[in-house]
Amino acid sequence: MPKYHDEIDAVLRALADPTRRAVVERLAKSPAVVSELAAPFSMALPSLMQHLRVLEDAGLVTSHKHGRVRTVTLRPGAFDILHLWLDEQRTPAERQADRLGIHLVRTEPKDS
């Protein structure tokens, strides 16, 4: 699955940078315009735009322009591929514990 491997690679490379992570953390609260995203960082706008491009290429954010204002949004399901990869890395012991966990939820009294 080369496509899957390329995608997970792009997502993890994008998230390995603390500035890009801070942008994602901000966008998880709500969409934001570029100037708003730039404000907390002492960074030239072109550098921020480059970070946004990496996030967009990794499928983590989308952006659209209204007049001169560009709004950036965290893509719904942005982290699905990372959740999938993490799920695949569960050890045999963790899979067993997970199955036990599911059993406990299903047999829990409904009014608790």
Residues binding a copy of itself (CB under 8 A) = 5, 8-9, 12-13, 15-16, 18, 21, 24-25, 28-30, 74, 76, 78-79, 82-83, 86, 88-94, 105-108, 110
DSSP-assigned letter for residue 50:
H
Q: Which long-range contacts (CB under 8 A, 24 or more apart) does 42-46 make?
A: 43/19
Nearest approach, Cβ of 50 to a copy of itself (angstroms)? 17
d(CA 77, CA 71): 18
Our CA angle for 40, 59, 54, nearest 5°, is: 50
**Cβ closer to a copy of itself: 46 or 111?**
111
**Cβ closer to a copy of itself: 45 or 83?**
83
